[in-house]
Structure 1
Amino acid sequence: MNKVILMGRLTRDPEVRYSNGADGTQLAIARYTLAVDRRIRQQEGQNADFIRCVAFGKSGEFAEKYFLQGTKVVIEGRIQTGSYQDKEGKTVYTTEVVVENQEFAESKAVSDQHRSQAQTPNDNQQQNQSQQNQQPVGDGFMSIPDNVDDSGLPFNF
């Protein structure tokens, strides 16, 4: 079985090109790199893996339209390896994840806040504090009152 699930942030905006299909239609091909944090942090050195991903068709169009540098996403796909000869005649080996499913891993507000912090970390401390004051407190889940009748739910405990 060849199945990969990754969560990380785009290192830059996706690169998208279009290829002509056999039936004359245009096929979107989006390539992007995810920075995926390692579970065990190293004292020095690299604490993330940078994994190349490619999305075809509607998934490629979605990435082109909605994904930006810094966006946190979850992807599901398969590993694909290949090789080619470079200009000097040396064999270059490639490994990438062919995306079969992709979705956002955080809300747009959190993503925008992260992106603004990454772009200008020193200039917007006051702006971040005012944004935090405006955002609702909590973990993003709706609170359910204790007096709700849940007898009709299929997962009673």
Structure 2
Amino acid sequence: MINNVVLVGRLTKDPDLRFTHSGSAVATFTLAVNRNFTNANGNREADFINCVIWRKPAETMANYARKGTLLGVTGRIQTRNYENQQGQRVFVTEVVCENFQLLESRATAEQRNNSIGNDQPNSFQNNQPNSNYDTHTQRHSQDNKCMPDFARSSDPFVGSGSTIDISDDDLPF
């Protein structure tokens, strides 16, 4: 059977690190993952995916990742259920992370946090990503040269003044 999950998204809040009675670290967190399309109003929606990570990676994540951090995670989907205090059966679906990677530099994250704290609204208000974030990222990626511009609206051939010289013989079809 195959049960693999790969996600790239932003933390909606700081990871919640706890320890079991036996001393194992466990961190729970939620990733906001943008959908690949826009809704009828032209806004991009996001899915909020509950995740859990165990042992040393949980401690590492709690030490280095904060609200808004861009993360890549790999893992598997797991379902479980339990009976709550009211006697109702509660079903939980979550991603059990086996590995994660920070996908932006610390300097970029600090710049984003400073600008959001000062003049930008919270990126996760109303389950919608911040439309100003792409503009903010573009502006700072040009200053730092360390973060490329991956905005979907950017076309590398518009306004560059250069043309591409390709003959029909160079095309594979």
Q: State the TM-score, normalized to the length of structure 1.
A: 0.73
Q: Please name the residue that 2:84 is paired with.
A: 86
**TM superposition shift of 1:94:** 0.4
**TM superposition shift of 1:135:** 2.2
Unaligned stretches of 5+ residues in structure 1:
141-157
Q: Distance in 2 between matches of 1:42 and 1:80?
A: 29
1:40 alignment partner, one of 37, 40, 43: 37
Q: Which runs of 4+ in 1 moved over 6 A?
A: 130-133
Contact 2:33/2:49 (8 A) holds in 1: yes
Residues 1:135 and 2:144 are matched in the alignment: yes
Name the SS for the 1:88 alignment partner. coil
Q: Distance in 2 between matches of 1:38 and 1:50?
A: 10
Q: Which amino acid letter does the alignment assign opposite residue 75 of structure 1?
A: V
Name the SS for the 2:107 alignment partner. helix
1:33-82 deviation line (CA, Å, top 9, x unaligned): 00000001213577000001101001111111111000000000000101
- After TM superposition, the structure 1 = structure 2 runs for residues 5-84 of structure 1, keeping only pairs within 5 Å, are 5-21=6-22, 26-44=23-41, 47-84=45-82
Q: Please name the residue that 1:103 is paired with.
A: 101
**TM superposition shift of 1:5:** 0.2
Name the SS for the 2:145 alignment partner. coil
Q: Which amino acid letter does the alignment assign opposite residue 96 of structure 1?
A: E
| CA distance 1:3–1:132, change in 2 (3 Å) | closer
Unaligned stretches of 5+ residues in structure 2:
122-136, 150-173
| CA distance 1:137–1:16, change in 2 (3 Å) | closer
- The total of aligned residue pairs comes to 132
Contact 2:72/2:100 (8 A) holds in 1: yes
Q: Distance in 2 between matches of 1:137 and 1:13?
A: 25
